[in-house]
Chain A
Amino acid sequence: MQKTFNIKKISTAILNSYSQIFFSENKLFAFLLLIVSFIDIWAGVSGLLAVLTANIIAYTLGFNKLAIQKGMYGFNALLVGLGTGLTFQPSPQLFFIVFFASLLTLFITLALQGILTKYTLPYLSIPFLLGIWIIILASKDFSSLGLSERGIYTYNELYALGGNNAVNFYNWFSSINIPESLRIYFLSLGAIFFQNNILAGIIISIGLLYYSRVAFSLSLLGYYIAFLFYYFIGANFSELGYTFIGFNYILTSIAIGSYFVLASWRSYLWTILLLPITIIITAGLAKVFAIWSLSVYSLPFNIVVIMFIYILKLRTSKQEHLTDNFVKQSNPEKTIYLNKTAIEENKNKLFFPINLPFWGEWSVMQAHNGEYTHKEEWQHAWDFIIIDEDGKQFKNTGNNVEDYYCYKKSIIAPADGIISDIFDRIEDNKIGEVNTIKNWGNSIVIKHTEILYSQISHIKAGSFKVKKGDFVKKGEILAQVGNSGHSPYPHIHFQMQATPYVGSETLDYPIHNYILNKKSQKELISFGKPKLNTKISPAEKDEILLKVLNFTPGQKIKVKYLANNKTKELEWEIFKTIYNETYIYCKKTKSTAYFFSNDAGFYFKNFYGDKNSELLLFFKHLYSVKKTFYKNIKHISSIRPDLFFNKYILIIQDFIAPFYLFLKAKYILNYLEKDDDFSADFIKLEASIQKLFFHKKGKESKSEIMIRQNGEITLQLFENESITKLTIN
């Protein structure tokens, strides 16, 4: 049992070592690549030998099994193996060299990983470059390795491979009139696997198209930008064809356009801007490397991609675009679908939940980049006050601090943390006066994570209920609002920062789970930045939703499904991965639904498996539930479209996904009824899922969801006339 499991894992590692060259872990694509590598049998064997060597040694040395499985340690060895296998005549000495070349490449890979991981940078195919150059330079002294003449006498090889048929096929194939540019495109693709023929390129491009429409279109974009640039500059285009350097542009395009950043019009634009640079680097370096009669191989691609990713990380101001803040999926378009939907929910992964530091309804007197003091380095802060029905922040004359509604109100911990600093003993100012010497007044800084601190200022002297070093829980009382420091009248100054000092530079960070009180309605905000003059209050939690929507790993769920008067019973189970991702697994339909749950909400993240399963129904209708109850409040989200539309229309969507999603699925949850505020038996919700084609509304699926105190969830669909009911307990 254990053994077969290992074989499965090893075969995954081997296949992924092939597809990883294109940043893919697609099995069919990998299989096609494996076949392509065997067009030259000895090269193919050398490649496979190198992959096996690298993976097995990485495994025995005890490196991360998941990285091995992903092919992260195999693909560079594969390339070195292929290159070596093609360069030299097949002989026992060749395999001997391939083995050690693979070992060397693995070591370079591991060493580079050690260095680059600190900068969160990839090592791409640098290990391959170092490996192959050394082998080629060294081989000049290895007399028993004969240089291969394959690739020169194509017919001989074809005959050896498949007899007359192969030769005929090759002739027929060569006679097909393929435009020159396309021919070089295929040759360039093939060249990634050291293949000097169109067939290899065609197979790879089919595999690429199968794996991802976005990556495929980027490969064409990258290639043609380079093609046009050569044409425009007047550079010798046949050089592109001759040295097969074209793959640099293809790989650069895929990496920058869709892999290291979320594919979007921005990433496409940067791809277009970066390609000419890649070409210049290619041309320049080729001259240098010619001195040692070496090829630059994929060096330009490595330089440009690693440099660009590094530069993106060096940006100092807050970045929303072109970041690595996204969840990767099995291909770029799925990554887009996941990251461009459920935007609020995805923020749960990006942000530590920071709540409002007070109780009840307050107003924003100064917001981000405010008109008084929230400027420049300190622009991402808020000033909160309490105002009455008439918009006044004080009663009586307003000449005394006691007249101000917010004065002496409790300040509470916005999240769990450790008190990292407290400043006390600065007396309150008289109304209208400010203390410019002790600007921040009495302040408290709380450490929430290693790089996230919150600071609250202008506190009343002597009102602290905590001391430096204390651990505080969210909602615990810290101190009282005062009027110390640069504070003409009492208010709370609240800011997030990355360093533990009072007055540190502020971070642009959202506040979690609060109610925006508008005149006629309330709005529940998951992660938001309160705007000037808005009225906000912390959202109250709902006990039933907290209790019921809290599945724990190991829990088994009994499911009853009633449709067309037939009842089906099945069982789901909750599991978690080593990364602490929780999911519901249905054994019968082999379906998996990943979810994320905290004390503010329950969100489904991803679904794999049977599209007709009860689990998918459950996934869709309880897609995003905030664990609060405010009657008639609507919670709106969006679900990834690939779970709703058929695969043919999705192919079109895949191609343009980086620019526009014309297929959408809108999720609306309405909080209908709670039978009792304190001993509620049930909560009634209404979920509606609307398919949108451009902006045209398609089929709508509605359900009523009953969540009961005893843990039972009933989902009743209003489709057709028949009753469809899903009950879990």
Chain B
Amino acid sequence: MATKEKLKYERPVINKINAGVTDKFGMSTKMEIIEEIDSVKITDLLNEYGSPVFAVSENTIRKTINELKQSFTTRYPKVQIAWSYKTNYLNAICKIYHSEGSWAEVVSMFEYEKAISNGVSAKKIIFNGPDKSKADLEKAINNGSYIHIDHFDELYDIIAISKTSKERPKVAIRVNMDTGIYPQWDRFGFNYENGEAWNALNRIMLSEKLDLVGLHTHIGTYILTPSAYGVAASKLSELAVKLDKKYNHKIKYIDMGGGFASKNTLKGAYLPGKDTCPTFDQYAEAITNAIINSEIDPQNMPTLFLETGRALIDDAGYIAGTVLANKRLASGRRSMIVDTGVNMLFTSFWYEHEIYPAQEVSSHTEDTTIYGPLCMNIDIIRSAINFPLLNKGDNYVLKRVGAYNMTQWMQFITLRPNIILIDTKGKTHVIRENETNETMTALEKIPEHLK
């Protein structure tokens, strides 16, 4: 005789009736469930690789970058993407981008060397950022990498190096400007409006020892206004035209940096990011129209560089984990403790991350606060979310965590988990192993007297 499975216990809930738009069945509170990523069951992932676990979908990565490429290459003759290392510099991830033809965009010698070790030709590395020592610059110049100058002190260093080095430094300047958005980033590069950028360009041209190859800007991050890119592209194009007029010098590329928004919802945003985030087409339309309509000679159009990071990788990353406990707060509010903490989900400080149950659950939801496992008051994943009632041991999954989390995370209180890549055939690979006590203590040294 077949044994009847015991029905799952559901705690009784009392819900206040909210006035709102309802149909005749009342408000639906049923939440979407994500049981698998690229046909790999999340419960299987957790069983095999432990909980929590980061999972990255190779499929999504490739699909997204091809979407970006298509949006731009069908609107502009020459387009090149450079993978923004800081967004996610796991070697396996970088290699996927390089295999799609991306260059590397790095902002430190650490990233520079990482790119080299990933097999990127030094001549396909863009070296950005304010922190470049003289030794870093020398190395990059001798290797023939492209240096985007951030400030005059760096420019002076490069001019000094150029007097003795065999290779001519290949440089671009980073320009900051008013594109009509707030906040205006003015801490990186040379300002356009006050003439600093033009000043820097003149100095480069007059030094005669540097090859000015491009113009770069990076107007900000998570920019929801494509027209701001249009303004930026026009301003860079104007600089290019001025250079051509004054020095008969044609720059080889215009680099629009990154900053395209991903579909995550910013804290305090009224509408979900899914609905407000512009498409690649909208960004592409704004940027390419601005360059095409500028006075740049159509027969000598510069290559358009993109350093898109967040919008390329965010959707490909997931964290799956397990519910540790449920408890009622003194106010009577429900709270749930999960095994993903802010130490590995850095972006939870600015996003309302989407979290979903990873198995069938009750259709009833309750306003819940989701805490991480850390013994720290700030460890909050979601401060308020209508969430179904998960039991201890149930699984959940957080969507869109591919950008920055795997680089900005830290070891704090707990150890960092495995990162899994789901390849295009649905096979899983560990691309970064979970930490152990040994990993963490390997670098530690104990003075003699304490041994």
Chain A contacts to B: CB under 8 angstroms: 358-362, 386, 388-389, 395, 405-406, 408-410, 473, 475-477, 537-538, 540, 675-679
The 5 nearest A-B residue pairs measured at CB: A360-B73, A360-B74, A676-B123, A678-B252, A359-B77
CB of A87, distance to nearest CB on chain B (Å): 69
Beta-carbon nearest neighbor of B146 in chain A: A678
Provide the bound-state CA to CA distance between A389 and B65, in Å: 11
| Residue among A395, A476, A540 making CB contact with B298, cutoff 8 Å | A476
| Residue among A362, A473, A679 making CB contact with B213, cutoff 8 Å | A679
Beta-carbon nearest neighbor of A473 in chain B: B299
Q: Is B80 an interface residue, CB under 8 A from the partner? A: yes
| Residue among B75, B170, B299 making CB contact with A678, cutoff 8 Å | B170
Provide the bound-state CA to CA distance between A395 and B282, in Å: 13
Q: 19 extra interchain contacts, Cβ-Cβ under 8 A, other than A359-B76, A675-B121?
A: A359-B74, A360-B75, A386-B70, A386-B74, A388-B67, A389-B62, A395-B279, A405-B74, A408-B285, A475-B77, A477-B292, A677-B80, A677-B303, A678-B146, A678-B170, A678-B213, A678-B252, A679-B144, A679-B170
Chain B contacts to A: CB under 8 angstroms: 62-63, 66-67, 70, 72-78, 80, 121, 123-124, 144, 146, 170, 211, 213-214, 252-253, 279, 285, 292, 298-299, 303
B253 / chain A contacts, CB cutoff of 8 Å:
678
B298 / chain A contacts, CB cutoff of 8 Å:
473, 475-477
List 29 A–B pairs whose Cβ atoms lie within 8 Å, in order of A's numbering: A359-B74, A360-B72, A360-B74, A360-B75, A361-B70, A361-B73, A361-B74, A362-B74, A386-B70, A386-B74, A389-B62, A405-B70, A406-B74, A409-B74, A409-B75, A410-B75, A410-B292, A473-B298, A477-B298, A537-B73, A538-B77, A540-B77, A675-B121, A675-B144, A676-B144, A677-B80, A677-B303, A678-B170, A679-B252
Q: Assess the B123–A675 pair: CB atoms within 8 A.
A: yes
B-side interface mostly: mixed
| Residue among A388, A410, A538, A540 making CB contact with B70, cutoff 8 Å | A388
Provide the bound-state CA to CA distance between A405 and B252, in Å: 28
CB of A473, distance to nearest CB on chain B (Å): 7
Beta-carbon nearest neighbor of B298 in chain A: A476
Provide the bound-state CA to CA distance between A477 and B75, in Å: 10
Q: Assess the A475–B299 pair: CB atoms within 8 A.
A: yes
Beta-carbon nearest neighbor of B78 in chain A: A540
- Given A388-B67, A409-B75: A677 and B124 within 8 A (CB)? yes
A678 / chain B contacts, CB cutoff of 8 Å:
146, 170, 213-214, 252-253, 303
Provide the bound-state CA to CA distance between A675 and B213, in Å: 16
Beta-carbon nearest neighbor of B77 in chain A: A359
Name the residue among B67, B70, B252 with the largest chain A CB count within 10 angstroms. B70
Beta-carbon nearest neighbor of A358 in chain B: B74
Q: Assess the A359–B67 pair: CB atoms within 8 A.
A: no
Provide the bound-state CA to CA distance between A10 and B285, in Å: 68
Provide the bound-state CA to CA distance between A358 and B170, in Å: 31
Provide the bound-state CA to CA distance between A540 and B253, in Å: 15
B66 / chain A contacts, CB cutoff of 8 Å:
388-389
CB of A225, distance to nearest CB on chain B (Å): 59
Provide the bound-state CA to CA distance between A26 and B277, in Å: 77
A679 / chain B contacts, CB cutoff of 8 Å:
144, 170, 211, 213, 252
CB of B204, distance to nearest CB on chain A (Å): 15
Provide the bound-state CA to CA distance between A678 and B305, in Å: 12
Provide the bound-state CA to CA distance between A25 and B375, in Å: 100
Beta-carbon nearest neighbor of A386 in chain B: B74
B124 / chain A contacts, CB cutoff of 8 Å:
677
| Residue among B70, B211, B292 making CB contact with A360, cutoff 8 Å | B70
Provide the bound-state CA to CA distance between A359 and B77, in Å: 5
Beta-carbon nearest neighbor of A396 in chain B: B279
A409 / chain B contacts, CB cutoff of 8 Å:
74-75
CB of B408, distance to nearest CB on chain A (Å): 30
Provide the bound-state CA to CA distance between A473 and B301, in Å: 14
A540 / chain B contacts, CB cutoff of 8 Å:
77-78
Q: Assess the B123–A677 pair: CB atoms within 8 A.
A: yes
B76 / chain A contacts, CB cutoff of 8 Å:
359
CB of B9, distance to nearest CB on chain A (Å): 42
Provide the bound-state CA to CA distance between A388 and B78, in Å: 19
Beta-carbon nearest neighbor of A409 in chain B: B74
Provide the bound-state CA to CA distance between A465 and B214, in Å: 28
Provide the bound-state CA to CA distance between A361 and B71, in Å: 10
B214 / chain A contacts, CB cutoff of 8 Å:
678
Beta-carbon nearest neighbor of B303 in chain A: A678
B80 / chain A contacts, CB cutoff of 8 Å:
677
Provide the bound-state CA to CA distance between A410 and B73, in Å: 11
Beta-carbon nearest neighbor of B253 in chain A: A678
CB of B234, distance to nearest CB on chain A (Å): 17
CB of A394, distance to nearest CB on chain B (Å): 12
CB of B214, distance to nearest CB on chain A (Å): 8
Beta-carbon nearest neighbor of A476 in chain B: B298
Provide the bound-state CA to CA distance between A395 and B279, in Å: 11
Q: Assess the B74–A389 pair: CB atoms within 8 A.
A: no
B211 / chain A contacts, CB cutoff of 8 Å:
679
Provide the bound-state CA to CA distance between A679 and B253, in Å: 11
Provide the bound-state CA to CA distance between A677 and B80, in Å: 10
A408 / chain B contacts, CB cutoff of 8 Å:
285
A675 / chain B contacts, CB cutoff of 8 Å:
121, 123, 144
CB of B211, distance to nearest CB on chain A (Å): 6
CB of B302, distance to nearest CB on chain A (Å): 10
Provide the bound-state CA to CA distance between A475 and B78, in Å: 12
